[in-house]
Amino acid sequence: MVKIALLFPGQGSQYIGMGKEFFEKYEEVKRIFNQVNEIMGYDLKKIIFEGPENSLKQTEITQPAIFVTNFACFKVFAINYQLSTMDCLCAGHSLGEYSALVACRVLSFEEGLQLVKKRAEFIQETSKKKPGKMAAILGLNKEKIEGICSLAKSRGIVEAANFNCPGQIVISGENGAVDYALDLAKEEKAKVVLLKVSGPFHSSLMKEAGEKMAKELKNYQFHDTLLPVVTNCDAEITISGNEIKEKLVKQIYHPVLWEETIRKMFNQGVNTFIEIGPGKVLSGLVKRINESAKVLNIENEESLNICLNQSSSGSIGELKCAKKN
């Protein structure tokens, strides 16, 4: 039975200085960050490590920045663990799905970064044509929020976009419709939080971005996965590279089924989740889905050492520390 899941965060987890500790210690991570600027055409490394924060929040920059940091953290993970001995599943939240695919060798790092760069550009272009917003609604169930969205559609497009965990669902859509939906949610005593994003992601307003991504993906060969990936748009375990390519198009304008993804992993025997990349957003969601889950993360030296100590003591399933020279 599968025991371990590797999770990769998406947009919203970024912060200035992410990945810098690993950059300063690992030559492999230095090589990753140093090759990024050539692909991006600007000094992305400097923005990640030094800011300014306003730049790091721009979708065209945020998405490649998180992708690169996720891969750097995964590289450190792979250096310290015998990945080939692991029996595990992988998943990434929205943008993080690309990190999962590179970790599972569906794409190379360079190919993944090129696609993430294009994805961010397409999403930003579409958001300018069809502006909107996203907001988290806390304290209401799926049925209640779907009912609210149905009522709010009298003001425009508004849809459930992220089913993150029990009591936390994100809606996305046109400004007026989202605002009305939030008013309705407040009448139900729900807490609402506007998300700091630049558009109505994972809604039908992103169809044009999906169409552009479909054309771009035709230029890439997707390999079958080294480790099974649970995909965002349907929470299904997927190995076929061709299937994954099709699902990445749908992912742009379809809700992220994160709660269902994590429950699928539990049903496959996962009892330990390791979040690889900046922040602990996904770790928190996993605990809200199942408080008995063992959750760790790898984003800096402190979190890596905690993970290493846990695995050395044999308390993380099948995870084995790599032999040190």
Structure tokens at 210: 């999906």
Using a 10 angstrom Cβ sphere, with 0-12 exposed, 13-18 middle and 19 or more buried, the burial of residue 236 is middle
Question: Is 94 labeled as catalytic in the residue annotation?
Answer: yes
Instruction: Write down the catalytic residue from 13, 55, 94, 127.
Output: 94
Radius of gyration of the chain (CA): 19
Question: Is 223 labeled as catalytic in the residue annotation?
Answer: no
Q: What is the DSSP letter of 84?
A: G
Structure tokens at 111: 């190919």
Distance between CA atoms of residues 305 and 301, nearest Å: 6
| Number of residues that this document lists for the chain | 325
Q: Are 227 and 78 in contact (CB under 8 A)?
A: no
Spatial neighbors of 96 by CB under 8 A, at least 6 apart, are 7, 8, 9, 10, 66, 70, 277, 282
Instruction: Write down the catalytic residue from 55, 127, 172, 202.
Output: 202
Q: Are 209 and 217 in contact (CB under 8 A)?
A: no
Helices (H), 43-192: 44-50, 53-56, 59-80, 96-103, 109-129, 142-152, 175-187
- Bridge partner residues of 220 (DSSP): none
Distance between CA atoms of residues 119 and 113, nearest Å: 10
Catalytically annotated residues: 94, 202
